[in-house]
A and B are shown apart, each in its own frame.
Chain A
């Protein structure tokens, strides 16, 4: 669309499953008549002959010859509607029209404002009570969110966050944590086709003040604060960013159960190591929340046992190479590694050093091919050097700064789990999150 604005007639080619989102993005950018043409899904994995058949076939949306669509898109004279552009404002009212509880519940479901589990209706009284959980005024702007890098940002206030916190069933004392999550600018409802979600980790005194539980079932439905804080983050993400609607603002092909709720407190008191937020410059007495983008894959293991090294190597090699690991480790496991002389930093360094994969496999990964390969071709290091590796040469998958460990769990077993979890949104193609660890105290 930038090229069009500069006077270059343009047509964008998409696959047909992206038709709705492509048109929605064009509209939101004030250019609803942007020319588009569509080939069938998928393009990935298709041979040159199959791609040629797409080009010589019909447009997968209009049914007209594809290349005729393309050529006319660049040469058919503009009409009156094309010249208008589209300037408009979309208002969001503060309150909805009064109605019965039953009808309002239906309205929220119909408008896709819920996660299809029952919600608490955000009445004026309930929202007022939630707002008592912070000293910040209701009309203060908290931040902006969007489902992906090519969508427009939506803005929101303290009150709007409170509305979603009420819907999730959260209590006012949780509200500073929820506000801090909203202020990170990281959505928990990414529209990525890869079905990303976001895991959040709470540190500091706030965990105990509000009754979060870092013990048995820490990542399951066993604690009110854990469950509803994660759910509030998810609901506020979908509603404050402009939606999370399949085909329009959501395209995750498999979806992600972590999209319902994924918040946990670190078991700081039972960990042999400094808490996560202290590793990132905060004091132990600070309360924070940190966000890890991805939560796509999940692997698990036990130990350390006799073969812990090969187990970790196998598990790390099986991760998605584009998405670094967040390791959540039961205190039994953490103390076990610590007794082997591996503190957190040393264990992370060991993982980074030993998690390797043949270059052939690394470069064949779809995200590596899409996001890292262009950088390598452009000469950006270390990717350029790694691209020269022979197919069987083992490439390091992650750097120590990519890998993170959080200690949590009930000590009923020496277990660890590994999730895709990029801290700070770093990485090619991923917008950086300015404050991946946000002060909760600032939102009290």
Chain B
């Protein structure tokens, strides 16, 4: 027996790595109403997310016509697109992102 045994109790290492510290971030203030606001529908480019966002755009047009919706896509899937983000931040009041698999 090559372990340091005390009363048959063994000391072993924890096998896990070291996670980073999590720094809390605040959510953005919410809108009082979506009426007259620009809501970007961000098509995240997953297979069939384009048609999903188009259906959502049509839903807004039919049910909440005062909401201005714009469909937008990043340059690549799963990769941050700073240009697209900048456009949403500059011109948009809110964003709906989706959708995968």
| Contacts from A to B (Cβ < 8 Å) | 1-15, 17-18, 27-31, 33-35, 39, 41-46, 48, 51-52, 54-56, 67, 70-71, 74-78, 82-90, 92-96, 98-101, 104, 108, 113, 121-127, 145, 149-150, 152-157, 159-160, 163-164, 167, 193, 235, 239-242, 366, 369-371, 373-375, 378, 428-429
Contact = CB atoms under 8 A, between A and B. Distances in A.
Contact of B47 (A83, A167, A366): A366
Contacts of B23: 30, 85, 87
Nearest to B37: A74
Contacts of B92: 8
Given A4-B27, A78-B29, A125-B2, A240 B85 contact: no
B88 A84 contact: no
A51 B51 contact: yes
Contact of A127 (B13, B34, B46, B97): B13
B94 interface: yes
Contacts of B14: 92-96, 163
Contacts of B8: 100-101
B13 A369 contact: no
B2 A121 contact: no
Interface of B: 2-4, 6, 8-34, 39, 45-49, 51-52, 54-56, 58-59, 63-64, 73-80, 85, 88-89, 92-101
Q: Which 5 A-B pairs have the closest CB atoms?
A: A85-B24, A13-B98, A240-B17, A156-B17, A154-B17
Nearest to B96: A11
Given A104-B12, A122-B13, A123-B11, A4 B28 contact: yes
13 contacts: A8-B28, A8-B88, A13-B97, A35-B27, A54-B52, A55-B55, A67-B63, A75-B32, A78-B27, A92-B17, A101-B10, A159-B13, A375-B75
Contact of A2 (B27, B63, B73, B80): B80
Contacts, number: 277
Contacts of A369: 47
Nearest to A154: B17
A100 B10 contact: yes
A123 B10 contact: yes
A155 B17 contact: yes
A83 B27 CA distance: 7
A88 to B, nearest CB: 5
Nearest to A371: B77
Main secondary structure of the interface of A (DSSP, over half): mixed
Contacts of B32: 75
A84 B24 contact: yes
Nearest to A378: B75
Given A9-B28, A74-B30, A241-B17, A3 B101 contact: no
Contacts of B74: 374
B76 A429 contact: yes
A226 to B, nearest CB: 22
Contacts of B17: 92, 145, 154-156, 160, 239-242
A100 B10 CA distance: 6
B19 A154 contact: yes
Contacts of A33: 27
A77 B30 contact: yes
B2 A104 contact: no
Contacts of B98: 12-14, 39
A160 B17 CA distance: 7
A67 B76 contact: no
Nearest to B20: A152
Given A7-B29, A10-B28, A154-B18, A2 B85 contact: yes
B76 A371 contact: yes
A10 B10 contact: no
Contacts of A122: 12-13, 15
Contact of B39 (A5, A74, A152): A74
Contacts of A124: 3-4, 11-13
B16 A113 contact: yes
B81 to A, nearest CB: 10
B95 A3 contact: yes
A9 B27 contact: yes
A90 B59 contact: no
A55 B2 contact: no
A304 to B, nearest CB: 38
A125 B3 contact: yes
A251 B101 CA distance: 12
A338 B64 CA distance: 69
A315 to B, nearest CB: 26
Given A13-B97, A92-B17, A152-B19, 10 more contacts: A3-B85, A3-B95, A30-B22, A30-B23, A74-B34, A82-B26, A85-B24, A101-B8, A152-B22, A239-B16
A67 B46 CA distance: 21
Nearest to A369: B47
Given A8-B28, A74-B30, A125-B2, A18 B48 contact: no
